[in-house]
Amino acid sequence: MISERERNGAPTENVALVTGASRGVGRGIALGLLAAGFRVYGSGRSIDQADLPRGIRRLRCDHLKDDQTARVFETIRSECGRLDLLVNCAWGGYEKMVEGGVFTWPAPFWDQPPHRWTGMMDAGVRAAFVCSAHAARMMTPRGRGVIVHISFWSAQRHLGNTIYGVAKAATDKMTSDMAVELKQFAVPVISLYPGLVRTEAVLAAAKSGGFDLSTSESPEFIGRVINALFHDANLMARTGQVLVAAAVAKELGVLDIDGSSPPALTLADLGLEG
């Protein structure tokens, strides 16, 4: 659907939806895109209580519930008539990491609590699939749009636990296959790997000596990288690929909010090489 403003040649803001924008990386992406001039919609279960500026349109949504997800896209369609960028950042599985006094996150797959599968595969991978389907229905008629899935290195090697790896590997495979089907419509799809991001949880852990933040990234940095990719004239050449945010930033000249250039982490840096 092409808006009346587009038909008349009037300038329009690029419209972005960031799922999971209540906190962490999702919140940072929403802030980064807002600063870059996007009209930003942020969705999440606790979005109404999120620390976000008024410029971000909050859409309360539990992405485990398809009817609520559908309403998010209906709202964007009715208010804007189009969607230019979808960033799938909604994720689950980090809840209840300690149960009965036991830290279950690194447990072998046979000792993992069942809710972690639901959190990562349903609230994460399935939610991204459903949102992407809605986005594709809005983007393909216009032959314009970008879909970004936030993923991580656990897709490449064992990191944390088996469910985490399965979920991120599924995200990367979803990226490559969606890219094949959307290529004829000039809608690129990418998986983007953040580095060590200074989310609320990471900052809290750092205070207790759990993390060295010297090579970390601000949450807004990922939003800056996505903005640069969105405006990259050669973005279709990257469709279906897994990209490391910090490496893309160096290539496209993107700096963090403090003017730094975060290093691009590798499997070796994570102790996962080989």
Tell me which residue of 218, 265, 220, 270 sits closest to 246, measured CA to CA. Answer: 265
Tracing tokens 């046979």 back to the chain, one arrives at 110
For residues 13 and 2, give the distance between their C-alpha atoms in angstroms, rounded to a whole number: 13
Residues 6+ apart with CB under 8 A from 32: 219, 220, 221, 222, 223, 224, 226, 227
For residues 150 and 118, give the distance between their C-alpha atoms in angstroms, rounded to a whole number: 18
Tell me which residue of 168, 255, 263 sits closest to 220, measured CA to CA. Answer: 255
Q: Specify burial of residue 212 (Cβ count, 10 A radius: 0-12, 13-18, 19+).
A: exposed
Query: 191 forms bridges with which residues in the sheet?
Result: 149, 242
Q: Is 94 noted as a catalytic residue in this protein?
A: no
Alpha-carbon torsion, ordered 210, 150, 14, 237, to 10 deg: 130
Tracing tokens 């804007």 back to the chain, one arrives at 80
Query: 150 forms bridges with which residues in the sheet?
Result: 192
Give residue 219's identity as a one-letter amino acid code: P
Active site residues: 164
